[in-house]
Amino acid sequence: METVKFTQMKDGDGEDYAFLTEHETEYAAGTADRLLAAMVELDKSLSGYKVTRLGHSLQAATRAWNAGADIDWVVSALLHDIGDVYAPYNHDEYAAAILRPFVREQCAWVVEKHGDFQLIYFGEHVGANPHKRDAFRDNAYFDDCAEFCEKWDQSSFDPDYPTRPLNFFASLVREVFARKSHDPAVVRPGMRIAMSDDATAAERSGSSA
């Protein structure tokens, strides 16, 4: 069997959909590598900053790594702007949709809302509401998003910051996207894990010295 038998989905049978499921599972296994390739495209994205969008993303991920953040935080920091190429007006939602099945709910929410939270820094200069984040004040992850933006996002436009290359993070991306999608043990609704861990940060600093 090389293709399904139907031309309308409603006409498919069990054999058709078993065949498609096998193909889809195989294709999904390559998600991490496709994302890593897409990250390279960020070098062609929004210009005018002192670093490229890829450089910004790598710097944010490096800051997360250096802070001792866990794998969900690091990969989320790396991919938080991946939507800039294809969804410049809702890049945060785009990135969150990619991450949500494979990372903690906390991290996916932060990525989804970081665009609104970032307005605190520049909204007044572009005719936007700098306090748009206040609509989420009662959310359990509000402080996490504020911290993410302050420590890893708005600060990661420094061309002199020692930034790790994309291949450094490749194994982390592959590990995250090899997880079973929507696994409750991964998504963990309501679970909050700190962005920083001093012991892990010291260990990573020592191992890279």
- Alpha helices (H) along the chain: 14-28, 31-41, 53-66, 71-79, 91-99, 105-122, 142-148, 166-177, 184-187, 198-207
Is residue 45 within 8 Å of residue 84, measured between CB atoms? yes
Q: Give Cβ neighbours of residue 87 (< 8 Å, ≥ 6 apart).
A: 93, 94
Distance CA 55, CA 52 (A): 5
List of the chain residues with pLDDT < 70: 46, 207-209
Is residue 105 within 8 Å of residue 191, measured between CB atoms? yes
Distance CA 85, CA 91 (A): 8
Is residue 77 within 8 Å of residue 60, measured between CB atoms? yes
pLDDT at site 209: 44
pLDDT at site 208: 53
* Number of neighbouring beta carbons within 10 Å of residue 65: 22
pLDDT at site 206: 83
**pLDDT per residue as tens digits for the range 159-195:** 999 999 999 999 999 999 999 999 999 999 999 999 9
* Number of neighbouring beta carbons within 10 Å of residue 117: 23
Domains and CATH numbers, the chain: 10-207 (1.10.3210.10)
Tokens of 150: 């302050």
